[in-house]
Structure 1
Amino acid sequence: MKKEFSQKPDLYEEQWPGEFNTFSWGDYLTAIPSPIFLITTYKSNRKPNACLQSWSTFTGDAGEFICIIGSVSKKGHLYKSLLKTKECVLNFPSADIYDKCQATIKNNNFEDDEIKKSGLTVEESKTVAAPRIAESFLNIECEFLWKKDHFKGANDVVVCLKMKHIAMDEDYYDENKKGRYGTVSYTHL
């Protein structure tokens, strides 16, 4: 027998004010796994910005590799930076640095170097004007292609990015060493 849901189940209560205005109860109910990564840009003051992200998908088309970010807040540093610079880096952490990635949520003031303040290291990118995170096992340098509101009056947008360059730790590249799958690689929500 299947349970049917057209509205939020009673057992789901907000853990903080506005939680279900930021996220949907459907996110919690379905618990569909997505890789966790940090999107990095430079803010208008040239300080590094790091936005912890999930709810995304990756695909190839006509020889190009793209990422669709399911939800970017119009109010955040990431959105403003993407519109201005048109560049970013997707940084994939292993589980051992997840707490530092989580710290970027708190270290999110405009004047903060969000990467350094969270205990991570800025690394120069090869093809974009956005910082990479040195501790990440995979960095995908991207250009911004487009954005679209979720719906009229939405707080967030869907964003499409195109890969320009990939940097991968050699131990993760080699499936006989750490590899890309298993307990030491992709962290997912």
Structure 2
Amino acid sequence: MDVVEILEAAALLVPEDVATSNDFTASDVWDDLAHDEWEAALCVLQESADGWTAPANFWERLGRAAEMLGFERSREWCRWRDTETRTGLVVRADLVLRPAGETFRRTPIPGAGVLRPMWGIGNRRRDGEPEGDIARVWVEFAPELRPGDRAPVRLLPLDPSRWRHLVPGDRITLYECAEAGGTATVLEPRPPA
């Protein structure tokens, strides 16, 4: 399959009444494809998936198209969303990193889901001591997050079942070493749309 065929196949899966936050619909995807605007079509398809339950092969197809077009971050985003769909959990949070000098981190967190820190989310060991849980971090709307900065993030837990108790407003703590590297307020813990 070539890029256009992949994007067409993905567009056929999107319900007609689903729109992005900018009111783009599947008909806009078809228009983009007719004008060889493949990147625009890919973006609309990715954004449209927030309004419906996309099947797993939807993200796989979009990831393949992004890879063929050479859009690495977009490919990684599709892989991320595919994993969220398969695990059945989306965790969004507002993360604030501690400033450089207050913790060991001196460089930005890469935004595309590379970092896999421990999180203090309230779970405890049998002896009552706090127990950390691993989750990858995707910085939304930015390629990185600098020490001292704040951004919305998505978290991809290693064990989603240990995160299902979270509710909006819960405060969780990021650990890359023994001291806290940042805190986050949970915005939404939910199954994928």
TM-score, normalising length from structure 2?
0.29
TM-score, normalising length from structure 1?
0.29
- Pair member with larger Rg: 2
Structure scoring higher RCO (CA < 8 A, sep ≥ 6) equals 1
